[in-house]
Amino acid sequence: MLLAKESGLMRHRVRAGWLFLLPMVVVLLMVAGWPLARTIWLSLTDAQLGAMSEANFVGFENYLAYYDGYWGGVLADPLWWVSVWNTVYFTVVSVFLETTIGLAIALVLHASFKLRGLVRAAVLVPWAIPTIVSAQMWGWMLHDQYGIVNDMLMRVGLIAAPLAWTADDQLSMWAVIFADVWKTTPFMTLLCLAALQMLPKDCYEAARVDGVHPVKVFFKVTLPLIKQPLMVAVIFRSLDALRVFDVIYVLTSNSESTMSMSIYARQQMVDFQSAGYGSAASTSLFFIVGLLTVAYIMLGKVNLGGSSR
Amino acid sequence: MAKVEFRKLSKSFDRTELVKGLDLCIEDGEFAVFVGPSGCGKSTLLRLIAGLETITSGEMLIGDQLVNDLPPAKRGVAMVFQSYALYPHMTVYENLAFGMKKPAGGRAELRRRVQDVATTLQLDSLMDRLPRQLSGGQRQRVAIGRSILREPRVFLLDEPLSNLDAALRVQMRMELARLHQEIGNTMIYVTHDQVEAMTLADRIVVLNEGRIEQAGAPLELYHHPANLFVARFIGSPNMNILPAKVVSVESAGVSVQLEDGSRLVAAVDGRGLQAGEPVHLGIRPEMISLRPADAREAHLSCQVLATEALGESTLVHVTGPAIQEPMSARLDGVHRLAGKTAVRLQLPPQACHLFDSSGYSRRRQVA
Amino acid sequence: MNVSLKSGSFYLLIIFILLFSLFPFYYAVISSMRTGTQLFDASYLPTAFSLDNYWALFDGQQAFGRNIFNSVVVSGSVVVLSLFLGLTAAYALGRVRFRGRELFLVTILSVAMFPQVAVLSGMFELIRYLGLYNRPGGLIMSYMIFTLPFTVWVLTTFMRELPLELEEAAIVDGAGPWTIVTRIFMPLMWPAMVTTGLLAFIAAWNEFLFALTFTLTNEQRTVPVAIALLTGRSAYELPFGNIMAASVVVTVPLIVLVLIFQRRIVSGLTAGAVKG
């Protein structure tokens, strides 16, 4: 093995490697590292969006502070906690639905039938549609007066009068979840399908010859074997769902019943111009997401490093 | 009982016919081996018996029961796959127990049976291992154990030894033979390795392009191949084939002339052959003896191309005016012959095979 | 009977899946061809075939053509930059063994996954400082935060799969790292680069939060922002005809791309996630 040797050649390669890495690292530090650090710093100041150079250090006042007789700061704002709850609720429900529906569709498409290629392509269509577009499409279909979803439900007799999907506090979260599930299920289907295709085919033939019931095969063979890729897919989707912004912004804008952490932070920062306070919210979001990820990886014992080689 | 019978059995994929109207009956308790070159339809045939593929036309019977539309599980068969098909996330014990029918005695009985089979196959100490922690031979034994536990009427084995190294293959071959003696069930075994076929089979079925070329006992196929294909396929190194013309048909056999003009006699039934008819003469390498170039009594003059010393014998490859593809002769002991040495080959009439112009063999007068 | 019932219900399931996947887009297409009061009637079949909504997008008042141009410029530049930086980095991460490589990869991956809003104010400040506010340059720079890590990650996965012997042969022949990357790996990596580039393009094309925050005027907006903020010709008219027309215009090219490159996209996404 030429490359495994600890030699001059090896040292030369490592040096070249760092050189090749450098441009990417510099760019990432500039567009991710620096803004992140600045955001965290700004969260400790009273910066206004229009005049950020005049910021004063205020410590943790944006997070939590005791003024005369009442608590202030992001962590004392009930609306912040509403948005945290909304985000977590949205993430859990939509990722759960996407995973189960995605897996179900993948199982169907894994069978061989005529026109399978075409059906697989068709299933990908929602994934190709920009989130904003899908949100607008669902906004239109869920329109309270002229929406086709109300029309369908009324024809079938499930509801008597049209529902205000995007305006009603009880329903708007579900409207958001529908739109997200529709748009993102193909991603899960795709990953599940890829995982299913990596399964050893002969095991299934062995199970057929042995007469093992398909349901037992699914729970005892399929599920344990795709658990690892499925968990990774769920992490990716959850991280994506925790930063949800577009679909909510378009469907229900700043409504409290669907406000996510991202919506809250951006509203404080841009609409109310309080860059410091908004940064405190986004920094909190950053740490919450980080904590949840670490917890999930620890609990699920997921190997993210791809270090098999 | 469980004999397996095909009646005009055919299988097509997208208009390509892989199995072409086979008729065959494998008796109860028989060890039948399907051999043939890759793509001959032998694996398809096995999968048809298992029910993993559906029959296009014809009938299949297992133990006198028509099974054309029966799902795999109801056919009373167990299959050992080429890649073993062990469940990668289950331990040896779980793999063995997974496909078993629930025995009347409950869990304890199930555990006892698994234990019994594991003991027979020397898997006792490996019960908690995962397949990836096993050697090839051990995996092989787990796969076989799993099929035994199904208590099938018919065992199906799809090239089970092809992923093992040479030494292990010999050992597993013996174990399989012993297993068949012990349990006595019908076994159908697919391989492309004719040594496995020769050593294991009660009956060999040679397949080619979806048809049966010949079915019979191993030595029957060796001594009396029905046609050129079987003659070439069975035996190692391959039988030598020489183009020839019939000179005359005599009571002692058929006298033929080779392309270099030399004549010799093949002791075969020559009825119906006409003088001048093109034929093929066949002779196995181990039947040839080598003579010096000036030996008058020997038949074929030729030149040495190369020799391969195998220790107990020597393979001599030769070419000459009568020879299209290089011929080989297997000589006992060690022989040193330089390249281009002129030699003569002696082809005993009793050892010669003769194939008519359509490739069918003439019955030889002696075994 | 049993078999035909089984396959019958199987195809019913397929039809249901197809309806679920395709109906919303189909409905957007037929809605986009309805104008005025035709939109009030929720019928399931195409009832009108007017292209007025499409013309209105490009009548000068909406500047939608300009929005599309912006999106193409921004997404295209992002793809080119990410691929270049990603390929060189992928060589280092995929082929050179050095300490901390795995940690490095996980860090990069986590950058791709962390919430963009977490850098919003810092990024805003940086863009202002560089004078890129309300300009395509600001978006190009900020989009690198999610396309670059993703590109590096996927290309590294592909790079690892190339046989070691190729590189050893090149080293024996005296090739340096730069030659190895440009002359040996680049040609072999083309399929992977097409896949990754396409996925990065789609991600940039669809981005909303940065585009919304870092642009101000309609002329500088990208397509998603324009569609989100699209209004009807008057306050009394339902804007959905226009919105659906705009949606169809920006979605059809994407759908065509996805259908053409279906296999490549699948391999790219799975390289990014399943194998990861």
Identify the residue among C105, C117, C227 best suited for mutation to test binding to A, counting A beta carbons within 10 A and taking the highest. C117
pLDDT digits (tens, 9 = 90+) for C145-183: 999 998 998 898 888 888 888 878 887 877 777 888 888
- Residue of chain C whose alpha carbon sits nearest to that of A36: C119
Side-chain half-sphere exposure of A170, counting CA atoms within 13 A: 2
pLDDT of C274: 44
Distance in angstroms (rounded) separating the CA atoms of residues A63 and A41: 12
Cα-based distances in Å from B66 to A231, B47, B53:
46, 16, 15
Inspect the interface and report whether the beta carbons of A203 and B85 lie closer than 8 Å: yes
pLDDT of A279: 92
pLDDT digits (tens, 9 = 90+) for C110-152: 887 788 899 999 999 999 999 999 999 999 999 999 999 989 9
Inspect the interface and report whether the beta carbons of C119 and A35 lie closer than 8 Å: yes
Closest-CA distance, B77 to chain A, in angstroms, reads: 7
DSSP category for residue A29? I
Give yes or no for residue A122 having a pLDDT over 60.
yes
Residues 6 or more apart whose CB falls under 8 angstroms from that of C246 comprise C57, C64, C223, C226, C227, C230
Name the token pair of A255: 């409504």
Tens of pLDDT, residue by residue, chain B (367 residues): 589 999 999 999 888 889 999 999 999 999 999 999 988 989 999 999 999 989 999 999 999 899 999 988 889 899 999 988 999 989 999 999 988 877 878 888 999 999 999 998 889 999 999 999 999 889 999 999 999 998 899 999 999 988 888 888 888 899 899 989 988 899 999 998 888 999 999 999 999 999 999 999 999 999 999 999 999 999 888 999 999 999 999 888 899 999 888 888 999 998 888 899 999 999 999 999 888 888 777 778 899 999 999 989 999 999 988 888 899 999 998 888 888 889 999 899 899 999 998 889 998 886 4
Inspect the interface and report whether the beta carbons of A195 and C274 lie closer than 8 Å: yes
**Of the listed ranges B42-51, C212-221, C255-264, the one predicted with least confidence:** C255-264
Higher pLDDT, A70 or C29: C29
**Beta-sheet pairing, B278-283 with B289-292:** unpaired
The predicted model gives A238-264 an average pLDDT of: 89
Pick from A136, A243, A278: which is nearest to C227 by CB? A136
Distance in angstroms (rounded) separating the CA atoms of residues C123 and C209: 12
Q: What is the ipTM of this complex?
A: 0.87
Strands (E), chain B: 4-13, 16-26, 31-35, 57-62, 65-66, 77-80, 154-158, 186-191, 203-208, 211-216, 240-250, 253-258, 263-266, 278-283, 289-292, 300-309, 313-319, 327-332, 342-346, 353-355
pLDDT of A309: 32
Identify the residue among A15, A53, A107, A125 best suited for mutation to test binding to C, counting C beta carbons within 10 A and taking the highest. A125
pLDDT digits (tens, 9 = 90+) for C14-27: 999 999 999 999 99
Inspect the interface and report whether the beta carbons of B52 and A205 lie closer than 8 Å: yes
The reply to whether B150 touches chain A by the CB within 8 Å rule is yes
- What are the CB-based long-range contacts (under 8 Å, 24+) for B171-174? B171/B137, B172/B137, B172/B140, B173/B199, B173/B200
A-contacting residues of C 194-223, CB under 8 Å? 202, 205-206, 208-209, 212-213, 223
B52: chain A residues, CB-CB within 8 Å? 205, 208-209
Q: Which helix (H) or strand (E) holds B195?
A: helix B194-200
Distance in angstroms (rounded) separating the CA atoms of residues B96 and B114: 7
Give yes or no for residue C60 having a pLDDT over 90.
no
The reply to whether A29 touches chain C by the CB within 8 Å rule is no
How far is CA B286 from its chain centroid?
19
pLDDT of A48: 86
Inspect the interface and report whether the beta carbons of C160 and A143 lie closer than 8 Å: no
Distance in angstroms (rounded) separating the CA atoms of residues B302 and B304: 7
Q: Which helix (H) or strand (E) holds B94?
A: helix B92-98
The DSSP code sequence of A250-292 is HHHTT-TTT--HHHHHHIIIIIS--HHHHHHHHHHHHHHHHHH
Query: Residue B77 forms beta bridges with which residues?
Result: B154
Nearest Cα to Cα of residue A74 among B141, B128, A39, A84: A84
pLDDT of C48: 78
Distance in angstroms (rounded) separating the CA atoms of residues C255 and C261: 10
- Tally helices (H) and strands (E) across chain C: 13, 0
Name the token pair of B50: 């298992």
Inspect the interface and report whether the beta carbons of B99 and A211 lie closer than 8 Å: yes
Please give the angle made by the CA atoms of A295, A298 and A302, to the nearest 5 degrees. 120
Distance in angstroms (rounded) separating the CA atoms of residues B135 and B64: 39
- Chains touching chain B at 3 or more Cβ pairs under 8 angstroms? A
Residues 6 or more apart whose CB falls under 8 angstroms from that of B278 comprise B243, B244, B245, B357
Distance in angstroms (rounded) separating the CA atoms of residues A210 and B147: 8
pLDDT digits (tens, 9 = 90+) for A259-309: 999 999 999 988 888 888 999 999 999 998 888 888 877 776 655 544 333
The predicted model gives A84-88 an average pLDDT of: 93
- Residue of chain A whose alpha carbon sits nearest to that of C44: A148
Identify the residue among A209, A220, A308 best suited for mutation to test binding to B, counting B beta carbons within 10 A and taking the highest. A209
Distance in angstroms (rounded) separating the CA atoms of residues B184 and B30: 8
pLDDT of A40: 93
The predicted model gives A236-246 an average pLDDT of: 90
Report chain A's mean pLDDT, rounded to a whole number.
Answer: 86
Strands (E), B121-259: 154-158, 186-191, 203-208, 211-216, 240-250, 253-258
Give yes or no for residue C272 having a pLDDT over 70.
no
Report chain C's mean pLDDT, rounded to a whole number.
Answer: 84
Q: Which of A244-253, C75-84, C165-174, C222-231 is modeled with the greatest confidence?
A: C75-84
Name the token pair of B90: 């289950």
pLDDT of A305: 45
- Chains touching chain C at 3 or more Cβ pairs under 8 angstroms? A
pLDDT of C4: 67
Pick from C14, C102, C269: which is nearest to A190 by CB? C269
Closest-CA distance, A14 to chain C, in angstroms, reads: 6
Give yes or no for residue A191 having a pLDDT over 80.
yes
Please give the angle made by the CA atoms of A188, C142 and A274, to the nearest 5 degrees. 100
For residues B21 and B8, the answer to whether their CB atoms sit within 8 Å is yes
pLDDT of B229: 95
Closest-CA distance, C105 to chain A, in angstroms, reads: 7
Question: In which band, very low, low, confident or very high, does the pLDDT at C273 lie, cut at 50, 70 and 90?
Answer: low
Give yes or no for residue A4 having a pLDDT over 70.
no
Residues 6 or more apart whose CB falls under 8 angstroms from that of A33 comprise none
B86: chain A residues, CB-CB within 8 Å? 203
Nearest Cα to Cα of residue A63 among A50, A87, A80, A48: A80
pLDDT digits (tens, 9 = 90+) for A27-51: 999 999 999 999 999 999 888 887 7
- What are the CB-based long-range contacts (under 8 Å, 24+) for A297-301? A297/A235, A300/A231
